[in-house]
Structure 1
Amino acid sequence: MKKNNSRIAIIGLGKTGLSVAKYLKINSKNFDVYDTRKDLFISKEIKKYINKKNIFLGNFNKNIVANYENFIISPGLKLKKDFINEIIKKNKNIETDIDIYNKENSCKTICVTGSNGKTTVTSMLEHIIAGLGKKVKAGGNIGLPALELLDQDCEYNILELSSFQLEMTRKINCIAATITNITPDHLDRHDTFNNYIKIKHKIFNNTKNIIINRDDMNILKENYKYKYTFGGNKPKNNNEFGISIKKGKKYIFHGDKELLCEDQIQLIGKHNLINACTCLCILCSLKFDVKDIVNQIKSFLPLEHRMENFYNSGKVRWINDSKATNIDSTISAINSLEENIILILGGKLKKDNYDKLNNVITNKVRQIIIYGESRDTLEEIIKEKDKVSKVINIEDAVNKAKYFAQKLIKDHKCLVYILLSPACSSYDMFESYEERGLYFKKCVLE
């Protein structure tokens, strides 16, 4: 292919790459698409927007860099690849779909990132704003790709942004932004925790209202000018939302004003009360009424694969928390439940401190069932060996959990929680955490 300065190279043909192709075609731009997957299925939708002769599959060739001046990079591509490094070294123009969104968008945008809780916060914000009669759509890392939000004619867009999306994006234009929390994650991609922290903080570079998690020193240590904070402790003033215990129950407070009891929402766990506080902070910064926000929070339903209590049988509660792909998510899940937990762990290990698990399993967790690629390593890490059982796969884990649950109920006549909260990625056996969660539910319900 000859060098053509007017053509654009789209790198990656996943959901984001296809949305970029749609955008460029609608705007009469010339482009080619590259993807490393040699056996990528060319769907009808792909054919609708991309001429087959402009799709190139297989390993990236550095020579491609010489043929284009403009590249649009998908978030799934690791920057350290030689191909991407070559583009950067040659001073070519690199953009992401979020960069294009920032240039083309005219509606009010709220941005959310974080290691855990970002999807729940994004979805809750969409639910609240829609319930208050505003036209709103969420997208980015969930749902619609960012560029497809441009066609929705909304008053508000909510972007969930992963570290992969933030890494190459130049700046974020939004009316409010938050980082839910920062714990070590995706270090196989970002190498160091400090790199990961810096990438997450990019979300605050060009926002009008910065919302801070006051419990997280990885966020609080920066000297930001912010109006509202959220956290898991009782608020000290009217700029803070947080949690306090009253008569044995957890309540959300705004300053010294009680807003909402844990019994009034349909989500499990303190971490979800903190997610609700995050939404309150964001929407109060945008002048929404606190009472109106609280009323909408009450009707928000839990998301699939996130502490999803999908089935109850007698005294057994089955909970699908397949989205818990790191140790901090699993610790939050354990802390959100009462005693008598049968914990199912396993998958592909991350660069994470799994030893932290020993701090939370002592009292609440009765049995730990470990499956998959990580089972031998996790067994070595867990100190209470008498609680550990190793199995091959999730189906075996479900059968083992049923056995332990029946025994606990017989011996102690107690309520038992069977919790899939893997603390690992799904990639040893599944394409995604969604696929893993669906298979878990299938095994339970069959």
Structure 2
Amino acid sequence: MNGPRTLVFGLGITGRSCVEFLHGQCPVAACDTRADPPFADIGPVASGAVPLVRPDALDYRDFDRIVASPGIPLTHPFLLRALGGGLEILGDIDLFLAEARAPVTAITGTNGKSTVTSLVGLLLDAGRGATRTGGNLGVPALDLLDDDAEHYVLELSSFQLERLHQRGFTVASVLNVSNDHLDRYASYDTYVRAKRRIYRGCGAAVHDADDPDTRPVEDLPGIALNADPRWRLTDDEILLDGTPHPMTAFRLAGRHNARNLLAGAAIAHVAGANLADAREMLRGFRGLPHRCAPIGRIGAVRFIDDSKATNVSACAAALAGFGAAPGGRGRSVVLIAGGDGKGASFEPLKGPAEAYVRHAVLLGKDAERLERTLSGIVPTSRASDMDEAVVRAHGRARDGDIVLLSPACASLDMFENYEARGAAFAAAVARCGGTA
């Protein structure tokens, strides 16, 4: 078979999509550092059509290029040897862009990118079924390729962007940048540079003027949110293309989600959506599971699942979002937080906790570290599991309060993933008598 000899390094969901895309186009092999790769038992790897090479048997000289899955750091010793030997290291988005024939809108950010990507996809599609939405969100980019697609909307992680060679998204946006994944990057500046790669060669950009780290390095057409008077937030309104909308008119709650709505509408507008026709869709957008999702009430106390808040900035945004929302009243949030903080500082939680948190219930690996940070700022208590956390939180809440699961930490110390953590929270609320 002709074509470059290609190794797909990493057999997660993205690596699986790369193998299936490349199979039949060029000689391809696969490798994974795990003893039991999750997708080795399906498709061309399972049938033997694509050989699975053991990591200790790899020799970069057997290949012309390597497609590295996002989960494989570019500092992996094999990749460093391959780069030193002159091989090209690609990502799945390079393969996608070489094949896509419709405009591509790309979105990244530390927090909110899945919510905004989903919203942009809905607004652009407007019920026609011709917009394909995915990437780091759900369906891998290569699985979206479709001759009938009129537009692609991709959520991209910094891990995908750092290995991207191709240029030229139709519209690109960095929503926000804050400390995360610093276990993977040498510095915060390196992380910011990876995010900003999304703007290289793009046709138009949408960024938040309130966050200088989201700004393109070069001047580009588009929208600077909160600097453009037609696209900004006020204390209680969202201005969309100059038209004011009260925040209370939207199903998506919290000021941080108002920022997501503003960004999503602006990106969709720049990409060609007719917002006048999509107003009800925008107002009725409910967001995604485990992202500030209301799950029920016990009496006059509301319970909110923000299990996707796996870093400090996401938790801080949720606290400010609910505490400073129209109708917010002082310390009206009982916070459930904790898990694996991945070495991040919890110091940025002090301000929003002091302003908005009545009590914090802490659990998981870094509960003690969180407790030290919040000591003297808000009362805290410990819980050994989610059921105990919900019981304690409900006991501290007053009528009109919100019990907010927003962990500021990864979930893997106690749960399979953040979805399982959110499901455990919902089940615990139900066992306490919560109703939808």
What's the TM-score once normalised by structure 1's chain length?
A: 0.89
Are residues 1:390 and 2:382 paired? Answer: yes
Matched residue type, 1:170: H
Query: Once the two structures are aligned, what percentage of the paired residues are identical?
Result: 29
Deviates more, 1:103-112 or 1:61-70: 61-70
Instruction: Indicate if the aligned counterparts of 2:12 and 2:39 stay in contact, CA closer than 8 A.
Output: no
| Root mean square deviation of aligned Cα | 2.2
Q: Deviations over 1:292-351 (max 9, x none)?
A: 243321121121010000112211111110111111111111112234211011011134
DSSP 3-state at the match of 1:37: coil
Q: Deviations over 1:253-307 (max 9, x none)?
A: 147x333211221101112111121122223323433422433211211210100
Deviates more, 1:347-356 or 1:217-226: 217-226
Instruction: Indicate if the aligned counterparts of 2:106 and 2:154 stay in contact, CA closer than 8 A.
Output: yes
Instruction: Give the counterpart of 1:277 among 262, 265, 273.
Output: 262
1:307 maps to 292
Is the alpha carbon distance of 1:152 and 1:119 closer, same or farther for their aligned partners in structure 2, counting shifts above 3 Å?
farther
In the TM superposition, residue 45 of structure 1 has moved relative to its aligned partner by 3.0
In the TM superposition, residue 87 of structure 1 has moved relative to its aligned partner by 1.3
In the TM superposition, residue 398 of structure 1 has moved relative to its aligned partner by 1.7
Instruction: Give the counterpart of 2:411 among 416, 423, 426.
Output: 426
Matched residue type, 2:15: G
Instruction: Indicate if the aligned counterparts of 1:348 and 1:372 stay in contact, CA closer than 8 A.
Output: yes
Instruction: Indicate if the aligned counterparts of 2:71 and 2:159 stay in contact, CA closer than 8 A.
Output: yes
Matched residue type, 2:52: I
1:411 maps to none
Instruction: Give the counterpart of 1:251 among 237, 254, 260.
Output: 237
Are residues 1:196 and 2:194 paired? Answer: no
Matched residue type, 1:387: P
Q: Deviations over 1:90-121 (max 9, x none)?
A: 11122111001111110111000001111111
Is the alpha carbon distance of 1:385 and 1:184 closer, same or farther for their aligned partners in structure 2, counting shifts above 3 Å?
closer
Matched residue type, 1:403: G
Matched residue type, 1:45: I
Instruction: Indicate if the aligned counterparts of 1:333 and 1:421 stay in contact, CA closer than 8 A.
Output: yes
In the TM superposition, residue 385 of structure 1 has moved relative to its aligned partner by 6.3
Instruction: Indicate if the aligned counterparts of 1:212 and 1:230 stay in contact, CA closer than 8 A.
Output: yes
Instruction: Give the counterpart of 1:15 among 5, 13, 28.
Output: 13
Instruction: Indicate if the aligned counterparts of 2:124 and 2:272 stay in contact, CA closer than 8 A.
Output: no
Are residues 1:70 and 2:68 paired? Answer: no
Instruction: Give the counterpart of 2:309 among 320, 324, 332.
Output: 324
Instruction: Indicate if the aligned counterparts of 1:271 and 1:336 stay in contact, CA closer than 8 A.
Output: yes
Instruction: Give the counterpart of 2:35 among 30, 35, 38.
Output: 38
In the TM superposition, residue 76 of structure 1 has moved relative to its aligned partner by 0.5
Question: Whole-Å Cα distance in 2 between the matches of residues 53 and 163 of structure 1?
Answer: 28
Question: Whole-Å Cα distance in 2 between the matches of residues 11 and 182 of structure 1?
Answer: 28
Deviates more, 1:60-69 or 1:94-103: 60-69
Question: Whole-Å Cα distance in 2 between the matches of residues 43 and 117 of structure 1?
Answer: 32
Question: Whole-Å Cα distance in 1 between the matches of residues 315 and 147 of structure 2?
Answer: 36
Is the alpha carbon distance of 1:284 and 1:47 closer, same or farther for their aligned partners in structure 2, counting shifts above 3 Å?
closer
1:347 maps to 339
Matched residues, number: 423
Instruction: Indicate if the aligned counterparts of 2:96 and 2:141 stay in contact, CA closer than 8 A.
Output: yes
Matched residue type, 1:113: T
DSSP 3-state at the match of 1:419: strand
Instruction: Indicate if the aligned counterparts of 1:251 and 1:258 stay in contact, CA closer than 8 A.
Output: no
1:445 maps to 430
Deviates more, 1:380-389 or 1:79-88: 380-389
In the TM superposition, residue 442 of structure 1 has moved relative to its aligned partner by 2.1
Instruction: Indicate if the aligned counterparts of 2:7 and 2:67 stay in contact, CA closer than 8 A.
Output: yes
In the TM superposition, residue 402 of structure 1 has moved relative to its aligned partner by 2.6
Instruction: Indicate if the aligned counterparts of 2:353 and 2:378 stay in contact, CA closer than 8 A.
Output: no
Instruction: Give the counterpart of 1:208 among 194, 203, 207.
Output: 203
What's the TM-score once normalised by structure 2's chain length?
A: 0.91
Question: Whole-Å Cα distance in 1 between the matches of residues 142 and 238 of structure 2?
Answer: 35
Matched residue type, 2:420: E
Question: Whole-Å Cα distance in 1 between the matches of residues 14 and 272 of structure 2?
Answer: 33
DSSP 3-state at the match of 1:267: coil
Q: Which protein has the bigger helix share?
A: 1
Deviates more, 1:174-183 or 1:66-75: 66-75
Is the alpha carbon distance of 1:357 and 1:237 closer, same or farther for their aligned partners in structure 2, counting shifts above 3 Å?
closer
Question: Whole-Å Cα distance in 2 between the matches of residues 282 and 53 of structure 1?
Answer: 40
Q: Deviations over 1:160-217 (max 9, x none)?
A: 0000111111134321010001111101001200000100010000110111211011
Are residues 1:268 and 2:260 paired? Answer: no
Deviates more, 1:274-283 or 1:182-191: 274-283
Matched residue type, 2:423: L
Alignment of 1:136-285 (within 5 A): 136-151=131-146, 153-220=148-215, 222-231=217-226, 237-238=229-230, 241-245=231-235, 250-254=236-240, 257-285=242-270
Question: Whole-Å Cα distance in 2 between the matches of residues 352 and 325 of structure 1?
Answer: 11
